[in-house]
Structure 1
């Protein structure tokens, strides 16, 4: 079969398999070989690696991945794209294809008996946040997570405190992984051409440095602190700690000005607050981005 990484090849495959690209599913296919090479290089595969690809489409990345790792699991939700992949990889014993939504699968479904793997995805925009959350909640099973996502989301993942992009998702991801923004990908690198640019982000999971109970407390704090971005910490933490005055007193005891807003606090400061709240009864549910 033809290499799918060109506009003409994608058009031919779309016609051959009767596909109408779905905006809802974010079906914009990579047509730039230089971006493919950059993605594969950044994943840093070794011959003995187990790899997982989410949303392979027509196999733009898959054909290179299959040549460079020991086992590859590719998860595709669209049955018409799956038909194309089955034809292309039927003679590749190290490639395992799964026809399903990745959000409906367990991590064991993705990795089977492999203790750890590397994950790569040209992520459909609609599942970006839930996919990142799912994977990082099982970060011990992945040594590298390489994502091509909407540029604005990539900037949020790597954002510093006190910037417009910084938010609860930034803190969630940066707590669980080292984040490297690897560069913009112009919208013309895809067909059909999406309305926005993408970017490549590399996540390297790291060990949690808080106990599970303190970690849960920290994410409760973060959720409350960002509940109303224009309000200060004194007001946003009032419901969690008791009332505005108690919240203000607690913040002052930790050398944090109660008039500050949630987006000005660093991850280190949220960790410190969570540790200081040890033993207190908090009223809101744990954070999930």
Structure 2
């Protein structure tokens, strides 16, 4: 069979209803390109392989799981990329959707990688640690609202779909899980530049308990810092507020 590797954060789904629900959360059309991240032992892979008319690939780092998948699901041969997802170039030309039970120890890094590919990735369905899922989906004014919330919601509509009990996994993780769907925004925010926006958001939330005037004083001229918005804390600002501020940076 196969072994579970704690170093890779492996907790495999065993609840077939949840597996079907995850795959069913990804809208697919004829000839759609779909990438699965971290198929592991194939819990949702087997349902993805049954979807008619899609072009499927999966990225898996663990050589043992690659061998297991190829033996267990012959249809996956030629569709597996044996690499670290964080170092993998975009696996398709053109548009492709991403799905996966994301390894929790690198789930934030996975999201930043997908943000790099956002022009090619219209939809994502992923399972995360519940706290991470809540942060991604949180709105402004919420204590969970932070860097991930703003950076992802700047480009995607986020839907918190459903939670998954620990007993649905082998071995059961010590954390709760949740499935989230992202759909790329048709109307993008007007952002000065990705670099400025990322620096602004990360700096603002770096001292989230302080008024913005303190952490952001190095990014704006003194006159701009007199604006009332800088008396607020980072979590009070909407994504649109951050986008607007990016145009006023030095």
Structure 1-normalised TM-score?
A: 0.80
Match of 2:122 in 1: 143
1:22 aligned partner? 5
Matched with 1:238 is: 217
- Does the CA-based 8 Å contact 1:224-1:240 persist in structure 2? no
Structure 2, unmatched stretches of 5+, are none
Q: Name the residue aligned to 1:75.
A: 59
Which SS does the other structure have where 1:140 is aligned? coil
Residue 86 of structure 1 pairs with residue 70 of structure 2 = yes
Aligned residues: 248
Based on CA coordinates, which of the two structures has the bigger radius of gyration? 1
Paired residues of 1:76 and 1:101 also in contact (CA < 8 A): yes
Structure whose residues are more often helix by fraction: 1
Distance in 1 of aligned mates of 2:119 and 2:200: 24
In 2, the alpha carbon distance for the partners of 1:271 and 1:203 equals 19
- Rounded Cα–Cα distance in structure 2 between residues aligned with 1:189 and 1:51: 24
- Please tell me whether residue 52 in structure 1 is matched to residue 5 in structure 2: no
The offset of 1:118, in angstroms, is 1.4
Q: Hey, what does 1:191 align to over in structure 2?
A: 170
1:153 aligns with 2:132: yes
TM-aligned CA deviation for residue 223 of structure 1 = 1.9
Shift of 1:70: 2.5
CA deviation string 1:144-184 (max 9, x = no partner): 11000100000000111121101111100000111000011
Question: What is the CA RMSD across the aligned residues, in angstroms?
Answer: 1.8
Decide whether the 8 Å contact of 2:190 with 2:244 is kept in 1. no
Distance 2:76 2:217 in 1: 58
Aligned counterparts of 1:56 and 1:23: Cα–Cα separation in 2: 16
Partners of 1:215 and 1:274 within 8 A in 2: no
Q: CA deviation at 1:230?
A: 2.0
Q: Partner of 1:261 in structure 2?
A: 233
For 1:34, the equivalent position in structure 2 comes to: 17
1 CA distance for matches of 2:129 and 2:84? 20
Task: After the TM superposition, list the runs of 4 or more consecutive aligned residues in structure 1 that deviate by more than 4 angstroms.
Answer: none
Is 2:113 aligned against 1:134? yes
Q: Which SS does the other structure have where 1:239 is aligned?
A: coil
- TM-score, with length taken from structure 2: 0.92
Alignment partner for residue 250 of structure 1, among 224, 228, 250? 224
The C-alpha deviation readout for 1:8-39, integer Å capped at 9, x for no partner, is xxxxxxxx33x1x1222111110111111111
Deviation at 1:199, TM superposition (A): 0.3
